Amino acid sequence: MSFSELTEKTRSYRRFQEEKPIHSELLREIIGTAGIAPCASNLQRLRFSIITDEKERRILFSGIGWAGYLTDWAGPEPGKRPSAYIVIHAPEEENFFTGIDVGIAASYIVLSASEAGIGSCMLLNFKKGSVDSVAPAEGYAAKLVIALGYPGETVLLEKNSEKIRYWRDGKGVHHVPKLSLETLVLKG
Ligand SMILES: Cc1cc2nc3c(=O)[nH]c(=O)nc-3n(C[C@H](O)[C@H](O)[C@H](O)COP(=O)(O)O)c2cc1C
């Protein structure tokens, strides 16, 4: 698979094959790619937690807000929920670069997961208390949660769109519009 094919395939998935576990070694390998990602001054300040335990997943799930644009959908039903989560932690004393480092690390995670056939969704809409109870990390704050699982839905990329809002059709297919290069490139 070429890199551009990988980037097209790497969409946000919110419905998974919950009964299909992701091997813990594979989850660690995925985090390993984030561990060698670029980061400001090579300080490597981020830390990661893997959540696969069923009870802990339930706690995490209860605090997550899914797909804000799909107002009539409360999130994945039992059986379609993530089979794992990765939490990205950063030191409580943030610096200017924290958010950038988290974003780069998260990108590496979702791309390498996708290469392994795993769907993912970055999540900022999470309850801090739920995350802290399953992934405590003294001196660190949870910055991003990434839901993971083998895909349980079809997600279609719509290139050269003028729209922003993703939507779901009558067959349950999730559509993700992306703007054209003409719109994106300001010069050149
Ligand atoms: C920083 C960040 C935070 C996000 N938070 C959430 C979230 O809380 N809940 C959710 O369902 N999706 C969340 N998403 C997923 C976006 O909705 C998704 O990336 C967007 O709809 C585009 O779809 P795509 O990832 O397939 O390109 C988040 C994505 C990013 C990058």
pLDDT tens per residue, range 33-62: 999 999 999 999 999 999 999 999 999 999
Per-residue pLDDT, 87: 98
Å from CA of 41 to ligand 1 middle: 27
**Quick check: 142 and 128 in contact, CB under 8 A?**
yes
Strand partners, 177: 158
Q: Is the pLDDT of residue 106 over 90?
A: yes
Say which CATH superfamily domain 3-152 falls into.
NADH Oxidase (3.40.109.10)
> Rounded CA gap, 180 and 101, in Å?
27
121 lines ligand 1 (CB under 6 A): yes
pLDDT at 146: 99
Numbered ranges of CATH 2.20.180.10 in the chain:
154-188
Q: Is 48 in the pocket of ligand 1 (CB under 6 A)?
A: no
Q: Which CATH code fits 154-188? A: 2.20.180.10
Is the distance from CB of 104 to CB of 42 less than 8 angstroms?
A: no
- Taking the centre of ligand 1 as the mean of its atom positions, its distance from the CA of residue 74, in whole angstroms, is 15
Q: Is the CB of 145 under 6 A from ligand 1?
A: no
Helix (H, G, I), strand (E, B) or coil at 185: coil
Four-CA torsion 68, 5, 2, 20, nearest 10 degrees:
60
**Residue 162 corresponds to which tokens in the numbers above?**
């003028």
Across all residues in the chain, what is the average pLDDT?
A: 97
Flag whether pLDDT at 94 surpasses 90. Answer: no
- Name the pTM for this structure: 0.98
- The Cα–Cα gap between 114 and 105 comes to 14
Asked whether the predicted pLDDT for residue 71 surpasses 90, the reply is yes
> Residue type for 146, please?
I
Residue 17 has pLDDT above 90, yes or no: yes
Tell me what the mean pLDDT of segment 132-143 comes to. 98
* Ligand 1 binding pocket includes 124 (Cβ within 6 Å): yes
Task: Tell me what percent of the residues of the chain surpass a pLDDT of 70.
Answer: 100
Q: Which helix (H) or strand (E) holds 133?
A: helix 128-134
Q: Is the CB of 12 under 6 A from ligand 1?
A: yes
Return residue ranges of the chain for CATH 3.40.109.10.
Answer: 3-152
